[in-house]
Structure 1
Amino acid sequence: MLINELSKKTGLSIHTIRYYENLGMIRGLTNEKVISNNYKHYDGNTIERLEIIIEAREVGFTLAEIKKILNSWFESVDSKPETLELFQAKIKEIDDKMRYFKQTKILLEKVCEKIKRSSN
């Protein structure tokens, strides 16, 4: 499929797809026999890779982390320990953020109570 069809199937802009390709996260192939254009063709594997990128971005992985996930998932023979380590690190990061936000919320609630009492 061409990039415009890939864009429609994934919901990503053509610009974003090209950006991910420039980062080496996906790869399009050109037909060596056709010299009149530089159209790249993408296969079903590309859709799967882009879906992983989308989901990983939604849960907070950086592009560098996503690239590692893609490499270990698609290109490594024994990738489970490395992939598991990446996911466990992200879970810890999320837990740390949740603790921080919970403490921040408590602090803000205390400030709100002080403001309410001082305005009465």
Structure 2
Amino acid sequence: MLINELSKKTGLSIHTIRYYENLGMIKGLTDEKVKSNNYKHYNTNTIERLEIIIEAREVGFSLAEIKKILTSWFETTDSKPETLELFQAKIKEIDDKMKYFKQTKRLLEKVCEKIQNNE
């Protein structure tokens, strides 16, 4: 499929897809027989990779972390320990952020209470 179809199937812009390709996260193939254009073709594996990128971005992984996930998921034979470590580190990071936000919320609630009581 061409990049337009890939964009429609994933909901990502063409610009974003090219950006991910430039980062080496996905790869399009050109037809060596065709010399008149530089159209790249993408297979269904690319959709799967892009869906992983989208979901990983939604839960807070950086592009560098996502690249590691894709490499260990698709290109490494024994990827479980490395992939598990990445996910466990992200869980800890989220737990730390949750603690920070709970403390911040409590502080803001105290300030609001003081304002309401005219203190």
Give the TM-score of the pair, scaled to structure 2.
0.99
Query: How far, CA to CA, are the matches of 2:42 and 2:82 in structure 1?
Result: 27
Counterpart amino acid of residue 28 in structure 1: G
Q: For each residue in 1:69-116, what CA deviation from the matched residue of structure 2 results, as whole angstroms up to 9, or x when unmatched?
A: 000000000000000000000000000000000000000000000000
Q: For each residue in 1:31-76, what CA deviation from the matched residue of structure 2 results, as whole angstroms up to 9, or x when unmatched?
A: 0000000000000000000000000000000000000000000000
Q: Give the paired residue count.
A: 119
Matches within 5 A, 1:76-91: 76-91=76-91
Gap runs ≥5 in structure 2: none
Match of 2:12 in 1: 12
Gap runs ≥5 in structure 1: none
Give the TM-score of the pair, scaled to structure 1.
0.98
- Kindly, what percent of the aligned residue pairs are identical? 87
Q: Which runs of 4+ in 1 moved over 2 A?
A: none
Match of 1:26 in 2: 26
Counterpart amino acid of residue 36 in structure 2: S
- When the two chains are superposed, the root-mean-square deviation of aligned CA atoms in Å is 0.7
